[in-house]
Amino acid sequence: MQKISKIAVLTSGGDAPGMNPCIRAVVRTAIYNGLHVAGVRQGYQGLIDNNMYDMDPRSVSNILNLGGTILKTARCLPFRTDEGMETAYKNLKANGIDGLVVIGGDGTFTGALRFSKKYPDISVIGVPGTIDNDLYGSTYTLGFDTATNTVIEAIDKIRDTADAHDRLFFIEVMGRDSGAIALRAGISCGAEAILLPERDTAIEHLIENLKAGQYNKKSSSIVIVAEGDKRGAYDLAEEVRKQVKFYDIKVTILGHLQRGGSPSAFDRILGSRLGFAAVNALIKGETQKMVGLEANHIKLTDLEEALTQHQFKLEDDLMEMSDILSI
């Protein structure tokens, strides 16, 4: 079993609220166990640029409440090349680092797994950090809860003005390949329809649904569109406008405000638990694993498996419930 003496921690891909509590937990758990810790700036780019610094417990003071990531993040193309990986490896070795905690989503884990297979003398543990909630092996990913609450707050406000004007709003929420935020926000806000990448909803069906709403004396309607729905909120609104004349139709794209903000209690606790578990996994000699939370227990999943399965299997029962509750 490889004995770890110094670890590095980085955040990569889209930032997610809860990353800072996780960094804090990684740093303090490592130091408590006698390990040295380096913080890597800007994700994998920082490994290539040798942009890292030694951290101590005070480096992570007062960050539990902060959104974003104090280490900064990036989507790094050079790390996908053999040369980029080799430079990163040499920098890690030169800094005496033998364990790596990567916090991010599927793109981050794809890089981590490839790197770890090429250079197995550096142990790698992944922490699921993405608002998309789309990683197999953890019921929740860091940032999903906060982002969903942010979306709900925004949609509630839109509902007020939609109701005042008797309007129909198409609201696009994040989730490149995942309808997780759209479905949860839709249920929470009583959306009249939720369009997800995981389920085809024909435009005719949507129009019938809206007409039924009018027949049932609804004064406003909200249609939530996950970003991953290839038609997009503007094009959908344009199509519906041709056939639905009883509503004035508006479109709102919520965009990156969904990724910011102070992490919820849930994400602070999840980040703390996962960061703590990641360091303990490294100490136990684990590598190429993701730490996740299943049934409120920490679980290790092979990175390979976390990447090949899709976590967010559309819960048909939730969709059916949402349809019934929004009549």
Q: Residue 81 class from Cβ within 10 Å (0-12 exposed, 13-18 middle, 19+ buried)?
A: exposed
Applying CB under 6 A, which of residues 175, 197, 263, 292 lies at the interface with ligand F6P? 175
Enter the DSSP assignment of 12: -
Which of positions 62-101 make contact with ligand F6P (CB under 6 A)? 75
Tokens of residue 302, six digits:
């092979």
Residue 324 CB, shortest distance to ligand F6P, in Å, is 28
Instruction: Measure the CA angle with vertex 270, ends 110 and 66; round to 5°.
Output: 90
Nearer to ligand F6P, 31 or 152 (CB): 152
CA-nearest of 108, 113, 186, 147 to 270 is 147
Helix, strand, or coil (residue 72): coil
Nearer to ligand F6P, 46 or 104 (CB): 104
The per-residue b/e assignment along 9-37, b for 16 or more CB within 10 angstroms, e otherwise, is bbbbbbbbbbbbbbbbbbbbbbbeeebbb
Enter the DSSP assignment of 10: E
Contact flag: residue 261 with ligand F6P (CB under 6 A)? no
Tell me the C-alpha distance between 5 and 146, whole Å.
Answer: 34
Contact flag: residue 259 with ligand F6P (CB under 6 A)? yes
Nearer to ligand F6P, 29 or 73 (CB): 73
Which range, of 17-25, 65-73, 125-133, 192-200, touches ligand F6P by CB under 6 A?
A: 125-133
Question: How many CB atoms neighbour CB 216 within 10 A?
Answer: 8
Residue 50 CB, shortest distance to ligand F6P, in Å, is 24
Given the residues 15, 98, 106, 132, the one annotated as active site: 132
Contact flag: residue 176 with ligand F6P (CB under 6 A)? yes
Please tell me the number of Cα atoms within 13 Å of 43 on its side-chain side: 27
**Strand 36-40 to 52-55 pairing:** antiparallel
Sign of the C-alpha dihedral, residues 176, 177, 183, 188? negative
Applying CB under 6 A, which of residues 105, 111, 261, 271 lies at the interface with ligand F6P? 105
Nearer to ligand F6P, 120 or 255 (CB): 255
Decide if 132 is catalytic: yes
Applying CB under 6 A, which of residues 11, 14, 45, 292 lies at the interface with ligand F6P? 14
Residue 68 CB, shortest distance to ligand F6P, in Å, is 12
Which range, of 91-99, 124-132, 193-201, 271-279, touches ligand F6P by CB under 6 A?
A: 124-132
Nearer to ligand F6P, 175 or 271 (CB): 175
Contact flag: residue 18 with ligand F6P (CB under 6 A)? no
Report the catalytic residues: 132
**What is the contact surface with ligand F6P in residues (CB under 6 A)?**
13-14, 75, 105, 130-132, 174-176, 227, 259
